[in-house]
Structure 1
Amino acid sequence: MITIEPIDTHKRSDVIRFFRIPFPIFSGNKQWVPPMWGDLSLQLNRKKHPFFEHSDADFFIAVKDGADAGRIAVLENKPYNRYHDRKLASFFLFETVDDPQVAKALFEAAFAWARERGLNGMQGPKGFGPLDGYGMLVDGFEHRQTMMMSSYNHAYYPRLVEALGFRKEVDFITCAIPREKFTFPERVYRLAERVQKRGTFRVLQFKSNKDMMAWIPKFIDTYNKTFVKNWEYYPLSDREVNFVVDNITQLINYDFMKIIAHEDAVVGFVIAFPDVSSALQRIRGYVSPFSFLDAIPSPWALIDILREV
């Protein structure tokens, strides 16, 4: 017997229960990286997460024969729908055992939620904002999830959702390139050097995270102009922008962010993150003083963090 239970996001026990569902589903899987408790609890916090200032979401758990067997979040992103002139719900945080009936029960609850709000379609996985990542893995299951903005799921997930009528809408590509092969032809380096000598474009070099922060508003402006026609784009509220900035600056070090400027405008950027996925697997979603040290990629990174405090 399968039943669907909505969770009360104001109850810590319900949020913990929702958080723990994927752990037995991925038990023994060496590629899956557990979610962080702090991240998920914030996503379910209606008072603190900026998404809930303009939109709504609910969360459901599937129970089969007395045991939790799956979960799903269903969202209505009102600014996204206004911007794209659509009436769509989104699903997110979908996890399930390999059982078509469990998946069907979860999505029937999500579909009913969407219909009650006058929505006429559903897409996903698509979360609460640009840092949550998008999509469902359909190829490359042998590779470890490298950061929380990329998704990982069992190979049976696409089969279950396609059986319910979902079809691919857009591709997101993740690539793995060994460091020794990450090179460009010599001609590219010479061209880049000539461009920099002309003084028209320059690569910004930061001496601290504080220096980098001064350019973040211009970085966000470039992000908005670059992604304005993308499938997932919608205008972020001021609080959402601050939320994104706060999260980005917690994750990156100034050495890992490169910005190309034309005069005082940001015209290009690249952000790199240290791969701490193996450490995240070891701490199993919970941060403590000892697990924090485990996640630091090097003693020099810890020195940089302490220097900025």
Structure 2
Amino acid sequence: MALDIQLVENSKSTMFPHFINIPHMIYKNNDQWVPWFHNEMKLFIDKKHPLFLHSDGDFFVAMRNNSPVGRIFVFENTMYNKTHNMKSAHFYFIDFYDDREVANCLFSAAIDWAKKRHCNSLLGPMGFGGVTGGGLLIDGFEHRASMTMMMYNHPYYRVHIEAFGFTKYLDNFSFYLPSTAQLPDGLKQTADALLAKGEFKVLKFKSKKELQKVADDVIHVFMKTLSDHAGNYELTKPECDYIVKSLLQVANPELIKIITYKGTIIGFLFGFHDLSAALQKADGKLTPLSIYRIIREYKKTNWILVNGMGILP
């Protein structure tokens, strides 16, 4: 049963439905995986995401007996390489059945792609900076993914990826914090004292329009504080605009915290309602019913996701 690696040229390709649908089949009976919207995936595959204004990449599907058994997106993020002084290719949207041969074929195709572009390493799963997920889940499989801001994968992914020869690049951690948690008394007293002096302020927002007004200043702080981290890079203006637009769609102004010092924005913390349950029910499709469920979950969920925090020194 020979394997065949097929290029997905665009959303009109016969391979496009396979690339979109295969994770739905792999995670069919899994309660923790959260799918991306298909229209957003279409944006990537048609290379209309702002990433492709400075970088190139290709999408591949592994086929066996005319059935899809795996997928991978491999790309060279030139801005990431420039930020981190590297010459690396990245992979993302990696999914495959519990089959060593399939995994090996996908990664071999990715390495061949990287070598043709004179890249000297392959990193992944690696997102596109901002709040896109990255990394490989190795613990906590009983927990649901945080919308599409966090990767979710089966335990066997690690087995096959390490068997191919990949080694750890870095550790990423996520944590659960109960709503009853309190700052230690000493830390809270220090924070209250600083606020009382009047030089530091925590801005409050009532509307997304108000958030939009400070977006450029917040992006500036993001670049200064997080762009050199392993999962980020110096985003271009179109990429920043895309992220701001995407985040504003799900943002609750009350959960966005901005710190100023003498009127200048110096820090931020992004909180979001966890809409994962509604996204799971949508199953990748944006319909009037799925939109209704998302709006309802916005008010219904008792989980808050914190993804993004930075403060200038």
Give the drift of 1:299.
8.0
Who is 1:74 aligned against? 74
**Quick one: structure 1 residues 4 and 12, their matched pair in 2 at CA, closer, same or farther if it must change by over 3 Å?**
closer
Q: TM-score, normalised by structure 2?
A: 0.91
1:51-70 alignment, distance < 5 Å:
51-70=51-70
CA–CA separation in structure 1 for the residues paired with 2:108 and 2:227 = 32
Give the drift of 1:85.
2.3
Contact 1:59 1:74 in 2 (8 A): yes
Higher strand share: 2
Matched AA of 2:3: I
CA–CA separation in structure 2 for the residues paired with 1:236 and 1:20 = 30
1:38-53 alignment, distance < 5 Å:
38-46=39-47, 48-53=48-53
Matched AA of 2:174: T
Who is 1:229 aligned against? 228
Contact 2:7 2:59 in 1 (8 A): yes
**Quick one: structure 1 residues 299 and 118, their matched pair in 2 at CA, closer, same or farther if it must change by over 3 Å?**
closer
Matched AA of 1:40: M
- Equivalent residue pairs, number: 299
**Quick one: structure 1 residues 228 and 279, their matched pair in 2 at CA, closer, same or farther if it must change by over 3 Å?**
closer
RMSD: 1.7
Q: Does 1:85 align with 2:91?
A: no
Matched AA of 2:152: Y
Matched AA of 1:207: K
1:84-163 alignment, distance < 5 Å:
84-163=84-163
Cα-to-partner distance string for 1:87-145 (whole Å, 9 max, x where unaligned):
11001000000000000011111111111111111001012343322101011001011
Contact 2:252 2:273 in 1 (8 A): no
Who is 2:36 aligned against? 35
CA–CA separation in structure 2 for the residues paired with 1:299 and 1:155 = 30
Percent identity reads 36
Q: Report SS of the residue matched to 2:273.
A: coil
CA–CA separation in structure 2 for the residues paired with 1:49 and 1:57 = 11
Who is 1:207 aligned against? 206
Q: Report SS of the residue matched to 1:253.
A: strand
Q: Report SS of the residue matched to 1:221.
A: helix
Query: Structure 2, unaligned stretches of length 5 or more?
Result: 301-313
**Quick one: structure 1 residues 149 and 120, their matched pair in 2 at CA, closer, same or farther if it must change by over 3 Å?**
same
CA–CA separation in structure 2 for the residues paired with 1:60 and 1:160 = 18
Q: Report SS of the residue matched to 1:32.
A: coil
Who is 1:307 aligned against? none
CA–CA separation in structure 2 for the residues paired with 1:245 and 1:7 = 29
**Quick one: structure 1 residues 228 and 281, their matched pair in 2 at CA, closer, same or farther if it must change by over 3 Å?**
closer
Contact 2:56 2:77 in 1 (8 A): yes
Q: Does 1:11 align with 2:18?
A: no
Q: TM-score, normalised by structure 1?
A: 0.92
Deviates more, 1:254-263 or 1:232-241: 232-241
Contact 1:88 1:122 in 2 (8 A): yes
CA–CA separation in structure 1 for the residues paired with 2:97 and 2:276 = 23
Deviates more, 1:118-127 or 1:95-104: 118-127
Q: Report SS of the residue matched to 1:256.
A: strand
Contact 2:15 2:61 in 1 (8 A): no
Q: Does 1:293 align with 2:261?
A: no
- Runs of 4+ that moved beyond 4 A: 297-301
CA–CA separation in structure 1 for the residues paired with 2:232 and 2:151 = 18
Q: Report SS of the residue matched to 2:15.
A: helix
CA–CA separation in structure 2 for the residues paired with 1:6 and 1:58 = 7
Give the drift of 1:298.
5.9
**Quick one: structure 1 residues 299 and 110, their matched pair in 2 at CA, closer, same or farther if it must change by over 3 Å?**
closer
Give the drift of 1:12.
5.7
Give the drift of 1:231.
1.5
CA–CA separation in structure 2 for the residues paired with 1:22 and 1:229 = 31
